[in-house]
Structure 1
């Protein structure tokens, strides 16, 4: 058996592992670059078959050292490929440090001579390193015993937890107490901390999934080079939905304890955008009032976009309208109204995972849903760019902007500006409508220096202008604009005791208009279609589809318009003993007065006051959306009898005194005022 390989075998082995990655010698120092070039030249001459003596005379690299650098070049690197030309760099290490000293008995706070002692301990005890790596990276390991899986109880093991496990494992191997790490002051905790950091860096993806935050985990698939399996091929084939927090504060008119109208700041609002990614056009938007976005808001956004006419917001700013030719897609091209997509792109936010979205809405529209990771803006960069333009053109120009965070572009007195200039949510919704409508005619570099409207015209003109939009059946289009939820309920009552048939929905009784015709259904199940935007009443049907007529809620629940979210909030307050019936009062009015008192409370926290004001703002907008009437101030509508009537903060021209600080509405130039709000 030969102990050495022939030169032909070595050359064949080298050429088989090639090509190697090139090293930029011009980036090295002069001495290191000269050394690298001589070694590389010697290797190339060796491959061409030149004698070793000529190679040494030409490059200074002898035969023994040449064989050594060949072995270094063929050594496998941690990335799985040979080191190649990298091994020719001066002082380049191709293997890890291995400790040769067998004993380490020094102790004390300033002990030395412990380099590589952890690796030596790993070599000394078979399986120790594998068990510790399994504990750090939380992988299953080769052992399938239940006792081993009990160690993986914490989601992310801290370095001190790893150190405790390391000491426990050493004790199980009967490691001598006179050796490292027991002979040190901190039992090797710094060494273990460094090892944990290096191991997680070597296994970056696994380390991020264990110790990273939500944003870091969501960014892991970015940069892998994998092409998305879902591609947008045609116009209006895909819709994108995303939410954005508006970085400015608005105000709402309230009446304080003295009966004087004032303005209270409201927590930041959210805006939902429906986006067409191929042309970068805005399809529709929806401002969310309240704490956070819910699945009902997502459903309402899509239903409004599929309605025959878009529900435009109330124009509260005089002479402010979209530019000529601007608007949303169905406003610019009415023939595309009520055309639905083939699939909708969403992220895995909680609001997108509700049954009203992923089940009810998907079945009604008949399209597919493409879910992706939340907080991963690279996946849907185009819709994020639309939100960035909204921030630059609107949010940063308003006097009540709060910026991206403390000290990040916010105004110094944003709250005071919101109340001083009366920047209400109605004003903001009007501004957002105009901003998104104008964005559809703004030139974009990503579209080849054209605008979304021109891109739509170009796509519609293709195939001899034979674009066929995807339209839902007529029976679906008739009810798609209404958020109807079908529920099975039981008919209750007792004819023998004179109790007429009724049903319970959200802790409120609903009665039939003709109860005598449904007495035989007592104890049976029926189907109701509930419009969650207005639950004062709904239609009922038998299971075979036979209509049972309209059902109305008892008492005040059937008089004042309110949605299901408001009903749940009132029931929650009743359960928590926050509000009760007072002399048979209207619970909706009591809930509104309760919110007003919290918004005007002086001893409460500022955050609680803003939440109460935001809830009042949500109530009035929900009522306006349910009834189709302009938004009104709930203080004037639901004020208790003992509360003085709220008066407008600015009097009419006929009753306004000739004072320099009181301005009639006709004398206010809103455009000039908006230009100053920067």
Structure 2
């Protein structure tokens, strides 16, 4: 070895020649003998890098120059993790490089096979590729989902034979044909390719490995209320019933399928801002917007009809407890996954143009990224639904699951009971101590932050209309004909929309209007001219303007009409016909009919809308008057027809001299 100082090598990295940048060693974990040796070596190396003479270093520490050069070389070598070994290389008996078998070495023991497996893979790279492909489930080699080690070993031996390896060489000259070495190598592969063996570890494990352990959890804590919120949905673990009236007038209990609860929670305070219940098999974009709407609009308590059930005095929703600061409050960032309902145009448009927040889309099927809301769902289940006799439990083998459908029927646990229970459970959750916020209640912490001046952003006064949360913008062409005398109208989803103003605007025929529609109530639409000026509110013709109905209900009715499963006349209320159709299917036990029946019933029982536009109210009132007048005219016509038929009947009887 050259006597030139090792640190004078120009090819060394700065972190290799600067002991201040090296990883340190906890000396207290070493035994007394090991500690003495380590400290002696460390002092010698430090003096070497300070430029002391080798003889002086030997005199002070007792480390021979030849041994010192070896220690320095160990310290500046690079470890498998890409870092300089540093002081870690000075620990007694520390291995800084893997074993390399030397066939020409005189020290080689023929009876030992240490290093033979590694040498075999280096000599035949195709063997290494084969083992990796089989272990990680590469379909180029095998279709077996997760090949076991002894099956991989059989393929390994077959490949060794095909490569022409003699029987007196490794692995054929061992008792187990290299199986133990292969097992150790597979164990290393599982760590080296962590999260890549989809077939071996499953999709869930792969997803977690790719997306957890880094990123969001290392960001600073969120302190400002409503700065960041998390949204997700959860299947309710329980069955509930509704009572459906048969054509004979009897009430029959029907079990609802399991449904969803959608929730929005504040990250800073853990307070639940709002929720919604979805009766759909898979919740939709409309259900998502229902949750957002309920979180922004001031919350109203549900009327409790269950004996002994009441709200906790310490609980409530933020908009109830702190109305001046959190009523109509909106958030800055929302976190949810890439589910289709979250990516819908309605959701994306309303979050951007109404709420004005940024969207943080996390990976699907990875609840760890939204751990706060997932923990809330677990608390909601364990303190609520899993304690009910109608619970389905957390899995099919849960001992708490004992005939949940029969229990729901036996105790008459209705959908109305569910709505009351959910509102109380969430209200009480906001008023109970939470371990994630140092055992403060979410409402208590929210109050502290608000008093400290951390006030959330509130929706502008002109935007505080409930209808805006469900609004979708489309374009439609004004139809009509001067030749046939058909007055101007707009058609949307198989229904014509008209107004007095539109009927008198024949000059706008074939003009494309911009329409704003509430997908939660399609009885009216608001129209604008191409230059952006408002035109008028249009109302659905006929009985479509009587009962509130959603876009989903309209599409379902149109589908049934096309398939000739239901029939509509001019005088029929389509929602009533559709409800009767669902009622019949529900009483006959058709799957999903009870949920749809309840959903349409809930939508038809339209509550008072917050800040409903006057133009919409006027349009609906005019439509109601027009329908009432048409119904009266029809009744009058039917009476006249009946009177005329009776008179003709009397004349006929007189003709044949029959006594009435």
- What TM-score do the two structures reach when normalised by structure 2? 0.70
- Provide Cα deviations, 1:583-610, integer angstroms capped at 9, x if missing partner: 78665445434434443446xxxxx63x
- Sort the Cα spacing of 1:589 and 1:408 in 2 relative to 1 into closer, same or farther, 3 A: same
Contact 1:305 1:338 in 2 (8 A): no
Q: Which residue of 2 aligns with 1:272?
A: 262
The reply on whether 1:538 has 2:493 as its aligned counterpart is: no
Q: Which residue of 1 aligns with 2:388?
A: 398
Q: Which residue of 2 aligns with 1:366?
A: 356
Q: Which residue of 1 aligns with 2:448?
A: 458
- Sort the Cα spacing of 1:41 and 1:481 in 2 relative to 1 into closer, same or farther, 3 A: closer
CA distance in 2, matches of 1:83, 1:581: 81
3-state SS of paired residue (2:505): helix
CA distance in 1, matches of 2:203, 2:163: 37
CA distance in 2, matches of 1:75, 1:612: 71
Q: Which residue of 1 aligns with 2:652?
A: none
- Provide Cα deviations, 1:626-647, integer angstroms capped at 9, x if missing partner: 6679xxxxxxxxxxxxxxxxxx
Q: Which residue of 2 aligns with 1:523?
A: 510
CA distance in 1, matches of 2:401, 2:217: 42
The equivalent position to 1:343 in structure 2, one of 309, 321, 332, is: 332
Shift of 1:5: 7.4
CA distance in 1, matches of 2:476, 2:187: 57
Contact 1:22 1:85 in 2 (8 A): no
- Sort the Cα spacing of 1:282 and 1:159 in 2 relative to 1 into closer, same or farther, 3 A: closer
Q: Which residue of 2 aligns with 1:123?
A: 122
The reply on whether 1:310 has 2:287 as its aligned counterpart is: no
Shift of 1:78: 2.0
Alignment of 1:167-566 (within 5 A): 198-205=188-195, 213-214=203-204, 216-218=206-208, 220-224=210-214, 232-255=222-245, 260-307=250-297, 309-318=298-307, 320-324=309-313, 326-336=315-325, 338-350=327-339, 351-408=341-398, 410-462=400-452, 470-478=457-465, 482-566=469-553
Shift of 1:462: 2.9
CA distance in 1, matches of 2:208, 2:332: 22
- Sort the Cα spacing of 1:86 and 1:18 in 2 relative to 1 into closer, same or farther, 3 A: closer
- Provide Cα deviations, 1:323-379, integer angstroms capped at 9, x if missing partner: 335421221222135443351322124132222122233211223233333444444
Contact 2:285 2:342 in 1 (8 A): yes
Contact 1:599 1:612 in 2 (8 A): yes
- Sort the Cα spacing of 1:363 and 1:516 in 2 relative to 1 into closer, same or farther, 3 A: closer
Contact 2:136 2:199 in 1 (8 A): no
Shift of 1:238: 3.5
CA distance in 1, matches of 2:185, 2:483: 79
Contact 1:304 1:481 in 2 (8 A): no
CA distance in 1, matches of 2:538, 2:274: 33
- Provide Cα deviations, 1:368-420, integer angstroms capped at 9, x if missing partner: 23333344444444333433332232112211111111223533121111111
Contact 1:533 1:626 in 2 (8 A): no
- Provide Cα deviations, 1:95-133, integer angstroms capped at 9, x if missing partner: 55667789xxxxxxxxx9999777546534679968997
- Provide Cα deviations, 1:536-575, integer angstroms capped at 9, x if missing partner: 2222222234444332324443333210111223334455
CA distance in 2, matches of 1:337, 1:263: 41
- Sort the Cα spacing of 1:113 and 1:289 in 2 relative to 1 into closer, same or farther, 3 A: farther
- Provide Cα deviations, 1:434-454, integer angstroms capped at 9, x if missing partner: 222223332334444433333
3-state SS of paired residue (1:431): helix
Alignment of 1:8-157 (within 5 A): 18-22=22-26, 40=38, 43=41, 76-81=78-83, 95-96=97-98, 119-120=118-119, 122-124=121-123
Shift of 1:477: 1.8
3-state SS of paired residue (1:497): coil
The reply on whether 1:592 has 2:594 as its aligned counterpart is: no
Q: Could you say what the CA RMSD is over the residues aligned between the two structures, in angstroms?
A: 5.1
- Sort the Cα spacing of 1:481 and 1:333 in 2 relative to 1 into closer, same or farther, 3 A: farther
3-state SS of paired residue (1:252): strand
- Provide Cα deviations, 1:460-513, integer angstroms capped at 9, x if missing partner: 3335xxx76533333212456552222111122322123332222123332334
Q: Which residue of 2 aligns with 1:614?
A: 595
Shift of 1:176: 5.3
Most deviating of 116-125 and 340-349: 116-125
Contact 1:346 1:352 in 2 (8 A): no
3-state SS of paired residue (2:476): strand
**Higher-Rg member (1/2):** 2
Contact 1:595 1:612 in 2 (8 A): yes
- Provide Cα deviations, 1:56-106, integer angstroms capped at 9, x if missing partner: 9xxxx999999988877765432224567877889876555667789xxxx
Task: Give unmatched runs, 5+ long, in structure 1.
Answer: 27-32, 103-111, 139-150, 603-607, 630-678
CA distance in 1, matches of 2:229, 2:164: 66
- Sort the Cα spacing of 1:50 and 1:300 in 2 relative to 1 into closer, same or farther, 3 A: same
CA distance in 1, matches of 2:478, 2:180: 70
The reply on whether 1:624 has 2:605 as its aligned counterpart is: yes
Q: Which residue of 2 aligns with 1:581?
A: 567
- What TM-score do the two structures reach when normalised by structure 1? 0.69
